[in-house]
């Protein structure tokens, strides 16, 4: 099915009754979502809940069994993958990597690297980068297209607390300077609560969604992540607001 | 110049090296070494079929190599691990090819020419065919270079940039079949994979970008071909195997030099650490 016009004039990305099946298995069932300009939407869900499949469907790597993904005209997508294994036999500098598949003026490359917090790395070899540096280079590569929608698939996996915090700081700066919407898969629930405008809790179907505190207090969410985590999150949000009021 | 068999051999060898080495880089980066081997081994079946049907050997080999490569691409991910699948198909194709050749009653063919190459017997027509094949492969690689590299890095990154990884895989498969068909005369089915992989592996430690590695690998392959031809002439050894031996010598030298250099640096580094304290 293909709609003649874009369903919601304000949304820049729309997913409509999306279903994905592999073999006989239903991976994603009846997923609908809208993404708006400068909105931060976070996807959470247990392992195997279809988060990565949803992201892959959005970037066109997985074909939906039914339903559709529509992107508003002239909206560019920047994609930061989960992690990337570079074969050690493939020599690659940061500069060369970031210019794949299209070459960009040096000035733009340097700017993107600086925006991603990797300004000094342009001449480094990809194999010499730490986990955090690697992710920042991936972010810079996504920024080069000047994206309207930035999609991140568990981009902080394998980073330590400090690395994770720094990475999200860069994302937040990028969102403000580039004015792009962000859709990210995340396991860092504290970060989710602090940064997300909208949270989608996925477990094959979207089992609950809303503002972070709404999701945290939802019984579906508590069933998935346990009471303990939910309380931590509710508390975190609470403290955060108090701090804001005090300040 | 083309009337001298040594010059013809030299031109054919250098042409094949120019295409095989950059393609070999992709074979190494994508871990397709066994894939190249399987396609090359299937070539002997192509030779048998070409003789049987009385068509050009180049055409027979190209067809069988393409069929073989597509079969492997299609069968992968359906229950068998890739290396098992390729192990089965490579050696089956070689065995079936050898059996098929023995059925060719009345045709006395020099089997070793196809197994180990017969570069000194390259004629003017062969050079034209090799030249055409090499031009096709280099054009394909040059035209698709960035897309091929992106698809080699990651399927998802490719999709996100609007590149279809399966189409790039097809381009490589086609290029591989053409290289096998033109390299048959130079090094033979058993040694084609060596011409793909050894120059690329030799170039790796000296390069920082994929482009540099492809160019250096081509240079190394051309050096191995010319030096191999000369050595075979002087020492009266079989030409194809001599070329591969020269490539192996270059690889060993490169490995010894780079590993030696690394060891030396490691020995020096703790010392400088101590003096720092």
Residue B229 has a pLDDT of 94
Contact: B146, A93; criterion CB under 8 Å = no
Residue A96: how many CB atoms within 10 A of its CB?
A: 18
Helices of type H across chain B:
5-29, 33-53, 57-75, 82-102, 111-116, 124-153, 155-160, 165-187, 192-203, 210-235, 239-276
Confidence of residue A8 (pLDDT cuts 50, 70, 90): low
Contact: A101, B147; criterion CB under 8 Å = yes
User: Which of A136, A71, A13, A30 lies closest to B162 in space, CA to CA?
Assistant: A71
Q: What CA–CA distance (Å, rounded) separates A150 from A184?
A: 8
**Shortest CA gap B27–chain A (Å):** 10
Residue B195 has a pLDDT of 93
Residue B133 has a pLDDT of 95
Confidence of residue A234 (pLDDT cuts 50, 70, 90): low
Q: What is the pLDDT of residues A117-145, one digit of tens each?
A: 898 999 999 999 988 899 999 999 999 98
Of all residues in chain B, the one with the smallest CA distance to A84 is: B154
Question: Mean pLDDT lowest for which of A102-111, A194-203, B219-228?
Answer: A194-203
Contact: A92, B212; criterion CB under 8 Å = no
DSSP string, A105-151: -HHHHHHHHHHTT-GGGTTSBGGG--HHHHHHHHHHHHHTT--SEEE
Side-chain-side CA neighbours of residue B234 (13 Å): 6
| A234-238, B242-246, B265-269, range with greatest mean pLDDT | B242-246
In chain A, residues with a C-beta closer than 8 Å to the C-beta of B26 are: none
Per-residue pLDDT, averaged over A142-150, amounts to 92
- CB-based contacts of A29-33 (< 8 A; 24+ apart in sequence): A29/A204, A29/A205, A30/A67, A30/A205, A31/A67, A31/A202, A31/A205, A31/A206, A32/A206, A33/A200, A33/A206, A33/A209
Has residue A82 got a pLDDT over 80? yes
- Crossing angle of helices B5-29 and B165-187, in 10° steps, is 150
Burial of B78 (0-12, 13-18, 19+ CB in 10 A): exposed
Contact: A84, B28; criterion CB under 8 Å = no
Mean pLDDT of chain B: 89
In chain B, residues with a C-beta closer than 8 Å to the C-beta of A91 are: 204, 207-210, 212-213
Longest dimension (CA), chain B: 82
Per-residue pLDDT, averaged over B30-36, amounts to 85
A121 or A194: which leads in pLDDT: A121
Confidence of residue A239 (pLDDT cuts 50, 70, 90): very low
The share of chain A scoring above pLDDT 90, in percent, equals: 44
**Shortest CA gap B146–chain A (Å):** 5
Q: What is the pLDDT of residues B174-232, one digit of tens each?
A: 999 999 999 998 888 888 999 999 999 999 999 999 999 999 999 999 999 999 999 99
With H, G, I as helix, E, B as strand and everything else as coil, classify residue A36.
Answer: strand
Residue among A59, A60, A91 whose CB faces B208 most closely: A91
Question: Mean pLDDT lowest for which of A22-31, A112-121, A146-155, A207-216?
Answer: A207-216
Of all residues in chain A, the one with the smallest CA distance to B165 is: A61
Could you tell me the CA-to-CA distances from B209 to A95, A99, A190, B21, B42 in Å, in that order? 10, 12, 40, 15, 33
Has residue B276 got a pLDDT over 70? no
Residue B106 has a pLDDT of 67
Residue B90 has a pLDDT of 84
Residue B268: how many CB atoms within 10 A of its CB?
A: 10
What are the DSSP E strand ranges found in chain A? 11-22, 25-36, 40-44, 66-71, 77-80, 149-153, 181-185, 198-203, 205-210
> Is the Cα dihedral A213, A215, A219, A222 positive or negative?
negative
Residue among A61, A91, A96 whose CB faces B204 most closely: A91
Question: Mean pLDDT lowest for which of A232-236, A240-244, B182-186, B256-260?
Answer: A240-244
Cβ neighbours of residue B194 under 8 Å, at least 6 residues apart?
B187, B244, B247, B248
Burial of A41 (0-12, 13-18, 19+ CB in 10 A): buried
| A187-196, A232-241, B38-47, range with greatest mean pLDDT | B38-47
Q: What CA–CA distance (Å, rounded) separates A193 from A32?
A: 22
Contact: B153, A102; criterion CB under 8 Å = no
Burial per residue of B229-243, b for 16 or more beta-carbon CB atoms within 10 angstroms, e otherwise: bebbeeeeebbbbbb
Answer yes or no: is the ipTM higher than 0.95: no
Residue A244 has a pLDDT of 45
Has residue A203 got a pLDDT over 80? yes
Residue B218: how many CB atoms within 10 A of its CB?
A: 24
Residue A242 has a pLDDT of 44
Has residue A40 got a pLDDT over 80? yes
Confidence of residue A150 (pLDDT cuts 50, 70, 90): very high
With an 8 Å Cβ cutoff, is A92 touching chain B? yes
């Amino acid at each position: 099915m293909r709609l003649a016009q874009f369903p919601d004039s304000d949304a820049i990305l729309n997913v409509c009754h999306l279903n994905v099946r592999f073999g006989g298995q239903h991976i994603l069932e009846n997923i609908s979502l809208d993404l708006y300009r400068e909105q931060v939407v976070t996807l959470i869900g247990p392992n195997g809940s279809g988060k990565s499949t949803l992201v892959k469907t959005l970037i066109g790597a997985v074909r939906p069994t039914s339903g559709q993904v529509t992107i508003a005209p002239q909206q560019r997508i920047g994609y930061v993958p989960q992690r990337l294994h570079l074969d050690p036999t493939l020599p690659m500098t940061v500069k060369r990597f970031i210019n794949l598949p299209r070459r960009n003026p040096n000035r733009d490359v340097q700017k993107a690297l600086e925006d991603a917090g990797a300004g000094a790395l342009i001449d480094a070899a990809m194999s010499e980068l730490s986990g955090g540096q690697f992710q920042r280079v991936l972010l810079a590569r996504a920024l080069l297209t000047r994206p309207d929608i930035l999609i991140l698939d568990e981009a902080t996996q394998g980073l330590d607390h400090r690395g994770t915090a720094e990475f999200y700081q860069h994302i937040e700066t990028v969102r403000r300077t580039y004015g792009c919407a962000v859709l990210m898969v995340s396991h860092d629930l504290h970060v989710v609560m602090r940064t997300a405008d909208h949270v989608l809790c996925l477990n094959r179907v979207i089992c609950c969604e809303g503002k972070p505190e709404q999701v945290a207090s939802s019984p579906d969410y508590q069933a998935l992540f346990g009471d303990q985590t939910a309380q931590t999150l509710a508390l975190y949000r609470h403290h955060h607001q108090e701090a804001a009021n005090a300040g | 110049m083309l009337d001298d068999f040594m010059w013809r051999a030299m031109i054919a060898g250098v042409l094949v090296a120019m295409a095989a080495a950059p393609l070999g880089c992709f074979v190494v980066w994508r871990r397709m070494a066994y894939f190249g081997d399987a396609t090359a081994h299937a070539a002997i079946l192509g030779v048998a079929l070409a003789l049987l049907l009385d068509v050009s050997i180049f055409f027979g080999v190209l067809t069988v190599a393409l069929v073989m490569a597509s079969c492997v691409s299609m069968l992968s991910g359906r229950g068998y691990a890739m290396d098992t699948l390729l192990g089965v198909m490579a050696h089956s194709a070689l065995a079936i090819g050898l059996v098929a050749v023995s059925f060719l009653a009345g045709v006395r063919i020099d089997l070793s020419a196809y197994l180990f190459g017969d570069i000194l017997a390259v004629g003017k027509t062969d050079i034209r065919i090799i030249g055409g094949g090499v031009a096709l492969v280099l054009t394909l690689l040059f035209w698709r270079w960035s897309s091929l590299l992106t698809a080699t890095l990651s399927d998802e990154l490719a999709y996100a940039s609007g590149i279809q990884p399966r189409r790039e895989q097809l381009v490589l498969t086609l290029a591989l079949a053409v290289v096998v068909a033109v390299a048959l005369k130079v090094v033979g089915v058993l040694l084609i994979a060596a011409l793909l992989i050894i120059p690329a592996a030799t170039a790796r430690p000296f390069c920082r970008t994929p482009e540099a590695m492809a160019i250096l690998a081509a240079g190394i392959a051309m050096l191995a071909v010319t030096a191999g031809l000369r050595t075979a002439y002087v020492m009266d050894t079989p030409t194809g195997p001599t070329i591969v031996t020269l490539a192996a010598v270059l690889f060993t030298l490169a490995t010894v030099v780079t590993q030696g250099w690394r060891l030396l640096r490691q020995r020096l580094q703790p010392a400088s650490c101590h003096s720092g304290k």
